């Protein structure tokens, strides 16, 4: 499959499959091919490189989520690129509008913990809050666990591959992964009490 | 495998759609009846989503640095092995030489740090193993193994207890030190970090000390210094003066 993806005749279906599978080669291609266009647009409209990066990455996340949940079903070969550009453009326009009456607020890129605690909302918000908190916790989890969990859940490595990587047997890798998840869980979810 | 671990296994398989039909129906019936289980499932799903999304974000940061930041050659080092497949895209020869040189100095530094580690590291003597109550039996049995230097065995005995009490400072501390004594500093770090979560833990200061030693053995001097500074262990000061001289 990867051979087909890397060739220039990239079919939309394959591209979507690859995004779903977090294929790092395809993600990199998508990023490098589309970022300059978005950056040019933002820089032409009162933005700087750093802002362009943030907006573009947010747009990538939106695309990625839409593909994963099958909300985005492309119909032609340039649809993905078009979609990315459109989201980034909208996000930047929103930002400019809000900035015109608010003083420079650095979008919602990094929501800090205190803010999260304060905001209350409906179910969806509740999920988003938890997700933000969990992302923050994962970012600070410590390299060992982070790398292991990332390889398993993001790169979709198998236990066998991880075992080989770490020079451990499969049972140990499973235990290690479990402990890392427990650690992350404890950081994110208030524990009633230990068993 | 503990029952809790098995339960989380099932939860994950359910979320990922990997349960066999019979198991799935079974699970769904339980899910209907148990709000607690529903919460566990929802929380687990959030964790899975967060790991993926944050990994994606960090992946993109790396791409950005590699492709769109000019100073990327000097700023590398934190290349996640995750992205190793990109190397086939070719690295300029100059960068390769830089890396080689970096690797050389790194390995020299490591041997020096490791010597320091070897001259300072002695495992914690352990707790007295007079068995008072039966529920601690497994714990102290493992402690006996630990004191005899059978670290792998001790770890294996403590592991099930740890799965039940993942945040217990005593367990995390001794499992961590046992891993370090067993030449597995990476594992040691995971557990020792846990042992430092409780601020009033009687193991806190020693846990910092062994964390420092773990990083020293790994060749991460910066982190080692950080943890030695936090520790009140009597050898920390001596180590610090060796490290910063």
Touching check for B83 and chain A: CB below 8 Å? yes
- Once rounded to an integer, what is the mean pLDDT over residues A19-38? 93
Question: Taking CA atoms, what residue in B is nearest to A109?
Answer: B57
Which pLDDT score is estimated for B10? 95
Q: Using one digit for the tens of pLDDT, what is the confidence trace for B141-180?
A: 899 899 889 999 999 888 888 877 778 899 999 999 999 9
Residue of B nearest to A180 (CA): B190
- Test B43 with A188 for CB contact under 8 angstroms: yes
What percent of chain B lies above the pLDDT cut of 70? 80
Average pLDDT of span B233-242: 88
pLDDT of B181 reads 94
Instruction: Tell which residue, A70, A60, A74, has the closest CA to residue A27.
Output: A60
Helices B21-33/B35-68 angle, 10° precision? 110
Could you count the other beta carbons within 10 Å of the beta carbon of residue B243?
A: 16
> Which positions in chain B touch A28 (Cβ < 8 Å)?
63, 67, 86
DSSP A8-72: S---HHHHHHHHHTT-HHHHHHHHHHHHHHHHHHHHHTT--HHHHHHHHHHHHHHHHHHHHTT--
Percent of chain A having pLDDT more than 70? 75
Chain B residue with minimum CA distance to A155: B82
Smallest Cα–Cα separation from B158: which of B130, B133, B126, B186? B126
Shortest alpha-carbon distance between residue B51 and chain A (Å): 6
pLDDT average, residue stretch B93-109: 57
Q: Which residue has the higher pLDDT, A76 or B215?
A: B215
B172: how many CB neighbours lie within 10 A of its CB? 27
pLDDT band at residue B81 using 50, 70 and 90 as cut-offs? very low
Residue B32 CA to residue B28 CA, distance in Å, equals: 6
Handedness of CA A159, A160, A166, A168 (dihedral sign): positive
Instruction: Write down the number of H helices and E strands in chain A.
Output: 10, 0
Closest residue in B to A165 (Cα) is B81
Model pLDDT, residue B96: 55
Choose between B176 and A187: higher pLDDT.
B176
Q: What is the pLDDT of residues B20-34, one digit of tens each?
A: 999 999 999 999 999
Region A31-43: mean pLDDT is 94
Res A9: pLDDT: 45
Residue A104 has pLDDT above 70, yes or no: no
Q: Which band of pLDDT confidence, cut at 50, 70 and 90, is reported for residue B135?
A: low
| ipTM computed for the complex | 0.82
CB < 8 Å to B164, chain A: 194-195
Does residue A133 have a pLDDT over 70? yes
The candidate with the shortest Cα–Cα distance to B195, out of B187, B203, B184, is B203
Count residue pairs from A and B with Cβ separation < 8 A: 134
As a whole number of Å, the CA-based R_g of chain A is: 20
Predicted confidence at residue A79, as pLDDT, reads 85
Q: Contact at 8 Å (CB) between A91 and A51? A: no
Which of 169-188 (A) contact B at CB < 8 A? Answer: 174-176, 178-186, 188
Q: Residues 74..113 of A with a Cβ closer than 8 Å to B: which?
A: none
Cα–chain center distance at B206:
17
Task: Identify which has the larger pLDDT, A10 or A24.
Answer: A24
What are the chain A neighbours of B54 within 8 Å (beta carbons)? 135, 138-139
3-state helix, strand, coil in chain A (%, to 5): 70, 0, 30
Residue of B13, B40, B54, B214 for testing the chain A interface, max A β-carbons within 10 Å? B54
HEC string of B102-127 equals: HHHHHHHHHHHHHHHHHHHCCCCCCC
- Asked whether the beta carbons of B166 and A184 are under 8 A apart, the reply is no
Is the model more confident about A59 or about A6?
A59
Q: A180–B53: do the CB atoms touch at under 8 Å? A: no
Per-residue confidence (pLDDT) for residue A77, from 0 to 100: 55
**CB-CB contact of A89 with A72 (8 Å):** no
The span from the CA of B50 to the CA of B48, in Å, is 5
Q: Is B86 on the interface with A (CB under 8 A)?
A: yes
Range B120-124 average pLDDT: 89
Mean pLDDT of all residues in B205-220: 91
Q: Cβ A142–B168 below 8 Å, yes or no?
A: no
Report the C-alpha gap between A121 and B94 in whole angstroms. Answer: 53
Among the ranges A116-125, B54-63, B81-90, B223-232, which has the highest mean pLDDT value?
B54-63
Report d(CA A54, CA A39) in Å as an integer: 10
């Amino acid at each position: 499959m990867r051979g087909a993806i890397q060739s220039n005749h990239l079919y939309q279906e394959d591209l979507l499959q690859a995004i779903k599978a977090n294929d790092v080669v395809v993600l990199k291609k998508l990023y490098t091919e589309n970022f300059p266009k978005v950056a040019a647009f933002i820089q032409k409209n009162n933005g700087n490189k750093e802002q362009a990066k943030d907006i573009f990455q947010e747009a990538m996340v939106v695309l990625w989520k839409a593909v994963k949940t099958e909300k985005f079903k492309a119909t032609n070969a340039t649809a993905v690129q078009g979609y990315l550009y459109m989201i980034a453009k909208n996000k930047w326009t929103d930002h400019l509008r809000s900035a015109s009456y608010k003083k420079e607020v650095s979008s919602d890129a990094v929501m800090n913990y205190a803010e999260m605690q304060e905001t209350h909302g409906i179910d969806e918000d509740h999920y988003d809050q938890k997700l933000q908190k969990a992302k923050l916790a994962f970012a600070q989890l410590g390299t060992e666990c982070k790398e292991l969990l990332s390889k398993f859940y993001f790169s979709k490595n198998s236990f066998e591959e991880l075992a080989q990587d770490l020079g451990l047997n499969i049972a140990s890798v499973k235990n290690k992964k479990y402990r890392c998840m427990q650690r992350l869980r404890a950081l994110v979810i208030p524990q009633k009490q230990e068993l | 495998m503990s029952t809790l671990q098995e339960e989380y296994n099932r939860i994950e398989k359910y979320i990922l759609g990997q349960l066999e039909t019979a198991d799935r129906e079974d699970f769904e019936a339980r899910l209907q009846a148990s709000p607690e289980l529903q919460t566990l499932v929802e929380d687990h799903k959030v964790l899975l989503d967060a790991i993926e999304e944050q990994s994606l974000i960090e992946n993109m940061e790396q791409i950005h640095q590699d492709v769109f930041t000019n100073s990327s050659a000097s700023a590398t080092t934190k290349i996640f092995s995750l992205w190793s497949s990109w190397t086939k895209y070719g690295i300029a020869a100059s960068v390769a030489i830089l890396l080689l040189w970096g690797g050389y100095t790194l390995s020299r530094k490591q041997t020096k740090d490791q010597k320091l580690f070897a001259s300072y590291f002695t495992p914690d003597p352990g707790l007295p193993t007079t068995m008072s109550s039966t529920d601690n039996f497994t714990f102290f049995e493992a402690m006996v193994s630990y004191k005899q230097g059978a670290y792998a065995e001790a770890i294996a005995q403590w592991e099930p207890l740890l799965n039940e009490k993942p945040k217990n400072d005593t367990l995390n501390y001794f499992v961590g030190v046992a891993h370090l004594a067993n030449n597995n500093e990476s594992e040691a770090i995971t557990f020792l970090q846990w042992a430092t979560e409780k601020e009033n833990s009687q193991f806190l200061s020693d846990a910092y000390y062994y964390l420092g030693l773990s990083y020293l053995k790994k060749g991460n001097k910066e982190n080692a210094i950080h943890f030695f500074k936090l520790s009140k262990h009597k050898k920390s000061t001596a180590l610090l003066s060796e490290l910063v001289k």
